[in-house]
Amino acid sequence: MSFSQIAATLCVLWCLAATGIVAWRLQQTPAPIDTDIQSMLPDSDSDPVLRAAMLRAGEAASGRIALLVAAPDPANAEAAGAALRGALDNAKVFVADSADAESTGRWLFANRNELLCEADPAQFDDAAADRTARSALAALYSPIAPVNGDMLAADPFLLTLRLSQCLSPVPAGVPADATLISGRLTASAFRLDTQAAVTTIVEDWRAAWEPKGVTLQRAGAIFHAAAAADRAKTEVAIIGGVGGIGVILLFWLAYRRFKAVLIAVSCVYVGLVGGLAAALLVFPSVHIMVFVFGATLIGVVSDYAVHFLSTGPATRWAGAAHRLKLIGRPITVSMITTTLAFAAMALFHAPLFAQVAVFATAGLVTAWAFVLAVLPRIDTTPRNSDALAAHWRRLEDLRSRIIVSPALSGACAVAILGAVAWGGLHLTYLDDPRAFQPKEAALLAEERVIRAVGESTFAPAFLLSEGNSAAEARAVEEAALARLDRSDILATSRFDPSPARRAENAVRIEAHLLEPRLAGQLAAVGLDPSTVDARRSDAVEPPRWLEAWRGATSGRHYLVAPILADGVQDVALPPGARLVTPADHYATTFRAYRGFATGALLAAMAAAGLILLAAYRRLAALAILVAPLAGVTAGLAIPAAFGEPISFFSLVAALVLLGVGVDYSAFQWEAGRDGDGREDRWTAVALPIDAATTALSMGLLMFSATQPLRNFGLTIAIGVAAALIFSYVPRVVARRSARKSIGEVSS
């Protein structure tokens, strides 16, 4: 076997093996696809406690839902609410808060003499004890008080009721003509099946009850996620459909063969499957964001196919060696440059970037090998080769009439420089993930209604306490709560204090409440002291939900205490405690990612210069960098000049522009070095096809409603156009350099 046959065989075997590896790994349970946003964080393994706590808090926050059912007739509202609650219960997707109420009540009763509403036991003095006794009497004589004789006999001060009201904030403003259903989902709010189940239940319920005058207000991450999924489906159908149809028509108009479309799709497929297989071999799981980066390979890999396909009609399907000679060096330079741009991400301390580096490197190398080793054996001379070659010559003739004049290039350069100057003065950044996805105004309005009755489905921040043991973490939380002194913190140590705090609470309750006031309280409510056991303590299991806010990782124990209202105090907390605002933390992450991507872009640009010097051994070859520089600069600056923010995803698009810009310029350089000028015309046709393919496959994302995708699409669409316009510069420089070399040889 010849070397080319061996290379083709090995490439095909790897593509088949990669397909098998991907299919095998994706069938495993659990699937090796990581959806944890924590995995995106730089140095995510350096603070495992924070990572675990944010995951715990995120799951709890996203899993909360609240539904407010209202009607002019309170009985109708109650019946409609019961119907909705029953449907959710039957679907096994929802656990109502009321399901935890009984176990929580038993726990509070059993521990009533060791728990306090006050975060600092010292605050429970004689005045606080007097208020407790008087509030119990007031509640006793209230017409709606949930009090009976058995409760009074064991809890004459109604400490259980007091604790349930102060430790478990409950909605207090639900009107009489409404019913509030609140609780947690049994599965992730971001699973499509969970969204479908809840959405179907709500829509069916609305169809049955809204004609009767019943209204529904919703709150919860699942409703925003479902709305976003619907928008994404619409965008994929429209943007993806238009782009796909456009690429097919483009290839048909250029090559007049559907086989050309299949070849391009094959190149994209082997690039993606090769990259994914390598990532799944190296890492136990791959983050879902890697697939987003994978989409960026489409624009680069499809260019490889376009170049090879174009050499067919341009050379009347000459031998494989001749066709490979035309594309071998420039496509290799492009591959190495783009690979280095993505591989540079591995230098930064983030697991996601390491996965992207492996994925992109393996994908680009696989596609490059497939084009050079396999395509010559697939794209053979067609039966109507003469007609196809004549069609291609007409395209070359048409393209030759379109000349990029120095005036046009100068005007473009001035426009880019002006955009850089203006954009630099009005530069804005988008790092806050809360602004990534637009939220429906109707859902936001419904959430405000639910928040007005005292129910909140999210906690904007939480108190994180950690220690070497569970007891130490609990002691840290208790000390932090004493300094914060807020009633809107759902802290497990308030329900289950440390032994020392329990003893201190018990002493305060005995000294200020039971000992001096019990006899008077019994007389006031008319109870026989012989029938009262106010100090009775029952052994009960703690509520299951308490464990949801406790955890241990890497030898450290931690407690998460959600803060249920906006605003975090700037106070000095004890060692081991900190206040965490997840949204701010993620914004900091994406801000760091922008820096990482910028560093990778600069490093790749510098490496590209060295590669060009090594490949062409001429200083003039650095002119190849003009097009990628113009593309990156225009793609970032022009949107910024018009008020579009720059995000991490803009810089990811810039990495793509670096690859395609070098690709365009390298082929123009090779065309400029063609001494006889007979075979350089095909490049002038192939490059616009490259640019149009990239714009259709990725640039159309500029119409997305999701801001990061919009940033990505705008950068690609504008940058590709600029790179194409300035790709003629290396052609001119190469031609002059070639003439100079010929003159030197002649002299």
**420 with 633: CB under 8 angstroms?**
yes
Residues forming a β-bridge with 33: 286
* Nearest alpha-carbon partner for 355 in 271, 297, 284: 284
Cα separation, 206 vs 67, whole angstroms: 12
Report, as an integer, the average pLDDT of 335-364.
81
pLDDT value for 745: 46
CA 308, 312, 313, 318 dihedral sign is positive
Of 628, 617, 715, 717, nearest to 667 (Cα)? Answer: 628
Q: Report DSSP state, residue 173.
A: -
Contact between 694 and 716 under an 8 Å Cβ cutoff? The reply is yes
463 bridge partner residues = 561, 579
CB distance 376 to 324 below 8 Å: yes
Average predicted confidence (pLDDT) for the chain:
84
pLDDT value of position 719: 92
Q: How far is the CA of 130 from the CAs of 124, 153, 523, 528, in angstroms?
A: 10, 19, 15, 21
Backbone CA torsion sign across 47, 52, 53, 59? positive
Rounded CA-CA distance 64/100 in Å is 14
**Most confident segment among 410-424, 508-522, 648-662:** 508-522
Query: Which three-class secondary structure string do you get for 292-307?
Result: HHHHHHHHHHHHHHHH
Model pLDDT for residues 33-44, shown as the tens digit of each residue? 776 555 665 555
β-strand pairing of 429-430 with 646-647: parallel
- Whether residue 484 contacts residue 255, with contact meaning beta carbons closer than 8 Å, is answered with no
| Greatest C-alpha distance within the chain | 125
Pair 108, 163: CB distance under 8 Å = yes
pLDDT of residue 169: 60
| Nearest one of 263, 260, 286, 265 to 275, comparing CA atoms | 286
> In the predicted model, is pLDDT for residue 514 greater than 70?
yes
pLDDT at 61 over 60: yes
Average confidence (pLDDT) over 415-443? 82
| pLDDT exceeds 50 at position 676 | no
Joined together, the tokens standing for residue 690 give: 């490259």
Distance, in Å, from the CA atom of 469 to the CA atom of 474, rounded to the nearest integer, reads 9
DSSP label of 457: S
**Considering only CA atoms, which of 373, 292, 282, 262 is closest in space to residue 21?**
282
Place of tokens 């940033």: 711
- Between CA 89 and CA 94 the distance in angstroms is 6
Find how far residue 373's CA is from the centre of its chain: 37
Average the pLDDT over 139-147 and give the result: 62
Strand partners, 179: 69
> CA separation (Å) from 299 to 302, 311, 699, 745?
6, 19, 10, 41
Taking 60 as the threshold, does the pLDDT of residue 145 lie above it? no
Mode of pairing for the β-strands spanning 178-185 and 94-96: antiparallel
What is the arithmetic mean of pLDDT over 451-480? 87
Lookup: tokens for 718 = 């504008």
Residue with tokens 């309750």: 509
Q: Rounded distance, CA 496 to CA 561, Å?
A: 13
pLDDT (tens digit, 9 = 90+) per residue, 694-743? 888 788 888 887 788 888 889 999 999 989 888 888 888 887 766 665 55
C-alpha span between 683 and 671 (Å, rounded): 7
Residue 83 has pLDDT above 90, yes or no: yes
The reported pLDDT for the residue numbered 747 is 47
**pLDDT at residue 270, as a whole number:** 93
For the segment 558-580, the average pLDDT, to the nearest whole number, is 84
Residue 522 reports pLDDT greater than 60: yes
Sequence-distant (≥ 6) Cβ neighbours of residue 220 within 8 angstroms: 64, 65, 66, 189, 457
613 backbone φψ class: left, alpha, beta (φ>0; ψ -120 to 50): alpha
Task: Round to whole Å and give the CA distance between 71 and 177.
Answer: 6
Residue 319 CB: number of other CB atoms within 10 A? 10
Confidence of residue 278 (pLDDT cuts 50, 70, 90): very high
DSSP letter at 421? H
Strand partners, 552: 557
Does the domain spanning 3-31+256-435+584-746 belong to CATH 1.20.1640.10? yes
Residues ≥6 apart with Cβ < 8 Å to 651: 594, 597, 598, 601, 636
231 touches 705 (CB < 8 A): yes
Going across the sheet that includes 178-185, the strands are 94-96, 178-185, 64-70, 215-220
**Cα 428 to Cα 646: distance, rounded to the nearest angstrom:** 6
E strand spans, 106-214: 178-185
- Contact between 63 and 223 under an 8 Å Cβ cutoff? The reply is no
Residue, of 66 and 167, whose pLDDT is higher: 66
Q: Is the pTM of this model over 0.85?
A: no
- Lowest mean pLDDT, pick from 82-86, 128-132, 336-340: 336-340
Contacts of 269 (CB under 8 A, 6+ apart): none
Numbered ranges of CATH 1.20.1640.10 in the chain: 3-31+256-435+584-746
Q: What is the dihedral of CA 392, 730, 638, 641, to 10 degrees?
A: -160
State the number of CA atoms in the 13 A half-sphere of 73 facing the CB: 7
User: How far is residue 391 from each of residues 95, 310, 402, 688, measured CA to CA in Å?
Assistant: 67, 12, 18, 16
Q: Could you tell me which of 692, 693, 694, 687 has the C-alpha nearest to residue 671?
A: 687
What pLDDT score does 740 carry?
64
